[in-house]
Amino acid sequence: MTRQEMHELALAYLQQRLTIEEKLEVFRLIMENDDFLQVLSFELALLRRFAPLKTVAPAGVRERVQEKIIVVVQNPKKVIAERVIHQVLRGTMPQIAWAVYQPWQRRVFAYE
Amino acid sequence: MSFEEIYTRYVDTVYRFLKFKLEDEHLVEDVLQETFLAVYQNLHKIAEVNSPKAWILAIARNKLVDHLRKKRLVEVELAEGLEADPGPDHLFIRQLLSHLDDTARTILYGLYVEELTCSELAEILGIPVGTVKSKAHAARSVLQHKLKEESV
C-alpha cells in the first residue's frame, strides 16, 4: 500500500465511509503498521484543523436569497429591468456615489 | 426532489464554499443567489447526475469564476479570502492553507470540510481524478512539513 493510499484509507475511516471489510483492514493496519498509525494521527489532526470552517449560512442570508430567487422566477421582466438600471447607474455614477448607492439599494430590495 | 428540498439541503454547503473563497459577504450572497437560480433553471438535470452535491458545487464554482472575471477581481478576492481577519478559530487553518495554490486549497477543503470524494472534486474542478489525488498528496506533504515546523 502506498503512502497516498494510506492517507485516503485513513481519512475515509475517520469520516466513516468504509465497508466492514475495509474497516477490518484498517484495524489490522493499526495493529501492525506504525506508518499507518502516523498517517491516521495526521489525518485526525487535519480534520480537527479544518473543523472551524464547517459553518452554516446565517438565517437572514438563507431567507433573503430564497426570497430573491422566488422574485426572479415569478417576475423575470422586473428583474431584467432592475439589472439594466443597475448597469446604467454603475457605468455613469461617480465611484464614491456608487459606494453609497450600492448598500442602500441592497437594503431597499431586501425589504421590498 | 423539489427545489425547496434541494435549497434546504445544500444552501449551507454552497454558502460555506463561497465564504471559504471570498471574504465579501455581499459577493457571497450574490453568487449564492446566482448559483441556486441556475440550479432552479436546470432542475431537470439533477436526476441524471451522480452526485447532486458535486453538481451544485460545480455550478457555484463556475458562477464564482464568472462573477470575479466580470469584475476582474480573481486574484484580489481569492487572496482577500485568505488574508482578511477571519477570527481566531479560522486563523490557523487559513495561514496553513496560504502555503498552497488555489486548486490544492479547494481540494483539501472538499476532502476535509465537505467530505467529498476525489471523483466528486474532479467533477467540480474539471480535472482528472488522478490529478486530484496527486495534488491532494502533494498538499498533505506541504501541510505535514508546516505542522512539523510549527511543533519544533
Tell whether B76 lies on the interface with A, counting CB pairs under 8 A.
no
pLDDT at position A112, please? 45
pLDDT value of position B99? 85
Chain A residues within an 8 Å CB radius of B7:
66, 69
The residues, any chain, with a CB within 8 Å of residue B2's CB and separated by 6 or more, are none
Q: What is the Cβ-side half-sphere exposure of residue A44, based on CA atoms within 13 angstroms?
A: 8
How many Å apart are CA A11 and CA B9, to the nearest integer?
A: 24
CB contact at 8 A, B139 and B104: yes
Residues 6+ apart with CB under 8 A from B68: B74, B77, B78
The tens digit of pLDDT for each residue in A36-51 reads: 999 999 999 999 989 9
Neighbours of B123 (CB within 10 A): 20
Report the chain A residue with the minimal C-alpha distance to residue B8.
Answer: A62
**Average predicted confidence (pLDDT) for chain A:** 85
Mean pLDDT of A21-36: 95
Provide the pLDDT for residue B83.
Answer: 47
pLDDT at A73: 82
Q: What are phi and psi of B79, to 5 degrees?
A: -70, -40
Q: Cβ of B33 under 8 Å from any chain A Cβ?
A: yes
Q: Is the pLDDT of residue A107 over 70?
A: no
User: What's the confidence (pLDDT) of residue A23?
Assistant: 96
Q: Cα separation of B42 and B152, whole Å? A: 52
ipTM exceeds 0.90: no
For chain B, which ranges sit under pLDDT 70? 72-90, 152
* Residue B99 near chain A (CB below 8 Å): no
Under 8 Å CB pairs connecting chains A and B tally to: 82
**Which pLDDT score, from 0 to 100, does residue B150 have?**
74
Predicted pLDDT of residue A111: 47
* Confidence check: pLDDT of A80 > 70: no
If one compares A103 and A24, the residue with the highest pLDDT of the two is A24
Does B36 sit within 8 Å of A69, measured CB to CB? Answer: yes
**Which of B151, B114, B152, B111 is closest to B132 using CA atoms?**
B111
Tell which CATH classification among 1.10.10.10, 1.10.150.130, 2.40.70.10, 3.30.1360.120 matches the domain B87-152. 1.10.10.10
B93 part of contact set with chain A, CB < 8 Å? yes
Q: Tell me the CATH number for domain B1-84.
A: 1.10.1740.10
pLDDT at B10: 96
Sequence spans of domains, chain B: 1-84, 87-152
Q: A81 vs B70, which has greater pLDDT?
A: B70
Of A105 and B7, the structure prediction assigns the larger pLDDT to B7
Over 90: is that where the pLDDT of A15 sits?
yes
Say what the pLDDT of residue B1 is. Answer: 80
Residue B20 sits at the chain A interface (C-beta within 8 Å):
yes
Find chain A residues with C-beta within 8 A of B134's C-beta: 4
